[in-house]
Amino acid sequence: MENLKNFYESYKKQIILCLMLAILIVITCLSFFQIDKRLNSNKDKEIIASIVEKQTDSIAKEEKTDDPKIIKVDVKGFVVNEGVYSLTEDGRVIDAINEAGGLKEGAYTRYLNLSKKLKDEDVIIVNSFEEIEKMKQEENKNIYCEVTNKACLTEEKIITSIIEEKEEQKEESNNKEENKLNTLVNINTATKEELMSLNGIGESKADKIIDYRNTHGAFKTIDEIKNVSGIGESVYEKIKEYIEV
């Protein structure tokens, strides 16, 4: 123990110097370790950022790929501006017609499928009411779509539509007849139009009835109307139940 003490006393400065050097080395190593750790951490961050950026670019490319395809369709007939128009592939016939400025007065769309989805190079032909009526006469009361008209309903749907249209017209006609039956026309006060609603009374006879009452005064009885030129017994029999004075 005495020897160790003597050794320490003899080499005290050297021992302290060595200890300080050892502590300095440890501190330096720890510093390098921390710096290396930070560098590695920064590299990890850069790698993660690079991965995120690549994924973002990939998503952006996919979104661009999902952009709707543009198609072109030809719109003809009774629209404000005929021409070829660009639409998205999810467009409908009505969208194409709107792009063409809408329908002209007299356009008839009963036989067009306005909700039909469009395809590139489709042709839409809008006919007028007069054209449709002409087609009915020429094609023996049926409508046949032009081959190019991609907006036209199928033949089966057109025939069904024509039947429905005829039924509507028949119902409307029946309603008019029913109104005639349920309404008495006062031949002393009726207008020209009201007189013409009577069965067998046209424009000419209505004018003559008005001229007669203007000249001779009001009708006193309904059978006095037979005094009007052109209204004989047969016409009177048709209207006598529907007129009053």
Average pLDDT, the chain: 78
State the Cα–Cα distance between residues 223 and 214, nearest whole angstrom: 17
| Percent helix, percent strand, percent coil in the chain, to nearest 5 | 60, 15, 30
18 or 239: which leads in pLDDT: 239
**CATH fold group of domain 70-165:** Outer membrane lipoprotein wza fold like (3.10.560)
DSSP for 36-77?
Answer: HHHHHHHHHHHHHHHHHHHHHHHHHHHHHHTSPPEEEEEEEE
pTM (global) more than 0.75: no
CB 107 within 8 A of CB 57: no
Give which of 150, 88, 153, 147 is closest to 123, Cα–Cα: 150
When pLDDT is cut at 50, 70 and 90, the band that residue 158 belongs to is: low
Q: Region 120-139: what's the mean pLDDT?
A: 83
When pLDDT is cut at 50, 70 and 90, the band that residue 187 belongs to is: very high
Per-residue exposure over 67-91, b if at least 16 CB sit within 10 Å of its own CB, e if not: eeeebebbbbbbbeeeeebebeeeb
6 or 141: which leads in pLDDT: 6
CA dist 87 → 67, 111, 205 (Å) = 13, 23, 58
The pLDDT value given to residue 72: 93
State the Cα–Cα distance between residues 17 and 209, nearest whole angstrom: 142
The tokens 């080395």 sit on which residue?
25
Q: Give the tens place of pLDDT for each residue, 103-120.
A: 998 898 888 889 889 889
Give which of 200, 182, 159, 178 is closest to 242, Cα–Cα: 182
When pLDDT is cut at 50, 70 and 90, the band that residue 197 belongs to is: confident
184 has a pLDDT exceeding 70: yes
The pLDDT value given to residue 160: 55
The pLDDT value given to residue 214: 92
Superfamily of 183-244 according to CATH: Photosystem II 12 kDa extrinsic protein (1.10.150.320)
When pLDDT is cut at 50, 70 and 90, the band that residue 86 belongs to is: very high
State the Cα–Cα distance between residues 94 and 100, nearest whole angstrom: 10
When pLDDT is cut at 50, 70 and 90, the band that residue 78 belongs to is: very high
Locate 132 and state its tokens.
Answer: 């449709």
Q: Region 142-159: what's the mean pLDDT?
A: 67
Residue 126 bridge partners (DSSP): 77
Locate 40 and state its tokens.
Answer: 């590695």
Q: Give the tens place of pLDDT for each residue, 22-40.
A: 788 878 777 766 766 665 5
The pLDDT value given to residue 166: 58
What are the domain boundaries of the chain?
2-65, 70-165, 183-244
